[in-house]
Amino acid sequence: MVRVRASLSQLPAYVPGRKLPGAIVLASNESPHGLLPGVAGTLAEAAGGVSRYPDLDATDLVQALAAHHEVDPERIAVGAGSSEVCGQLLHTVVSPADEVVFGWRSFEAYPILTAVAGGTAVKVPLREHTLDLDAMAKAITDRTRLVFVCNPNNPTSTALGERELLDFADRVPRDVLIVVDEAYREYADPSLVPDALALLGDRPNVVVLRTFSKAYGLAGLRVGYCIAQPGLVSQVRKTQVPFSVSALAQRAAVLALGEGAEVARRAALTVAERDRVTRRLRELGHDVPDSHSNFVWLPLADDSADFAAHCLDGRVVVRPFLGEGVRVTIGLPEENDALLALATAWRG
């Protein structure tokens, strides 16, 4: 039998949101609004070139992102979704026996990607569903190479403010990479949740992650990117799987980036529905934290599996984290109404 790495025997598989034909799927934090108009209109044309390899350097996309964020193109690295970019960053700075610190629970891929890179995950418990930056700073040792800060946090939907992030960044040693994962940035109130690029982007040990999978509606095409200092980015680019971002994905992302007004309009619709769902769930007695994302968190603890099963019986798919809570993506109004009807009927 072929020998495989011993560490893989303890590695959990990533668990995606469940797909069920004919059901309402509120489990994967996708946009419910479909493709942006400018993207939908050109996909068929762009698909005609997929028999050829894509641009390895994603030149047009990098240039468009640089113009969008008003940074030098040498500060941007792309990947097949922000999850691949997380892996690229880990492979750039983490060696065997190095540590990676993050709050828990947070993005499910962090411990998996850390283990694949050969590092050791250091999970720091949340405080009231929010990243505990004080505890995370104390968890940093001379073996720590990278810290993930998911803001807003997935799956608990909570977010950190400007002062908290600044104080944390000041406490982290300069040779430890801080990765601020802003996958849900477009759904956050900028008066409450700072833009990490504007706040910390000039620091050599800070990387900001973004994605086209959420508000930009391109989850199935897999495009993510990071913004950091050029010296680091040049190394991160070396760790990308060659041609991982397809030509179709590159083209769609450039077009989506140009539809900022429509992205903002759709995000506002989701935020309004998020607030409506939150109010009703609280009326039903659920201790739902304030959400800054396109989903809400129900801290149901041991009732999480039962609630998810109840929803599934009603043909609504949600995302349970057993023993902790349930994450519910905000969908279209009628989809959210179905979820709320099930929540009203449920007796935990």
The CATH number linked to 147 is: 3.40.640.10
Last residue of a domain, one of 239, 257, 275: 257
Does residue 331 lie within any of the structural domains?
A: yes
Last residue of a domain, one of 257, 287, 317: 257
Does residue 68 lie within any of the structural domains?
A: yes
Q: Is the dihedral of CA 252, 255, 258, 261 positive or negative?
A: negative
* pLDDT at res. 6: 73
Residues 154 and 280 in one domain: no
159-208: pLDDT as tens digits: 999 999 999 999 999 999 999 999 999 999 999 999 999 999 999 999 99
In total, the chain counts a number of residues equal to 348
Residue 144's SS3 state is: strand
Identify the DSSP state of 202. Answer: T
Does residue 80 lie within any of the structural domains?
A: yes
Amino acid at 230: P
Residues 159 and 297 in one domain: no
Phi, psi dihedral angles at 274 (to 5 degrees)? -60, -45
pLDDT at 74 over 80: yes
Confidence class for position 294, pLDDT limits 50, 70, 90: very high
Residues 318 and 193 in one domain: no
Residues 55 and 77 in one domain: yes
How many CB atoms are located within 10 Å of the residue 92 CB?
Answer: 22
Find the mean pLDDT for residues 268-295: 98
Residues 302 and 338 in one domain: yes
Identify the DSSP state of 127. Answer: B
Residues 187 and 287 in one domain: no
**Which ranges in 177-301 belong to alpha helices (H)?**
196-200, 230-236, 247-257, 260-283
pLDDT at 1 over 70: yes
Residues 129 and 152 in one domain: yes
How much is the pTM?
0.95
Q: What mean pLDDT value characterizes the chain? A: 95
Domain that holds residue 142: 38-257
For the chain, the domain total comes to 2
Residues 199 and 299 in one domain: no
Does residue 187 lie within any of the structural domains?
A: yes
Q: DSSP per residue over 64-114, as a string?
A: HHHHHHTS-GGGEEEESHHHHHHHHHHHHH--TT-EEEEEESS-THHHHHH
Residue 242's SS3 state is: coil
Residues 269 and 130 in one domain: no
Residues 234 and 269 in one domain: no
Does residue 1 lie within any of the structural domains?
A: no
Burial of 73 (C-beta count, 10 Å sphere; 0-12/13-18/19+): middle
Q: How far apart are CA 320 and CA 90, in angstroms?
A: 27
Does residue 164 lie within any of the structural domains?
A: yes
* pLDDT at res. 347: 76
* pLDDT at res. 229: 98
Does residue 227 lie within any of the structural domains?
A: yes
Does residue 341 lie within any of the structural domains?
A: yes
Q: How far apart are CA 289 and CA 296, in angstroms?
A: 8
Residues 23 and 52 in one domain: no
Residue 295 · residue 310 · CB < 8 Å: no
Tokens linked to 10: 């303890």
Residue 79 CA from chain centroid, whole number? 13
pLDDT at 47 over 80: no
Residues 329 and 185 in one domain: no
Read off the CATH number of the domain in which 25 is found: 3.90.1150.10
Last residue of a domain, one of 227, 257, 287: 257
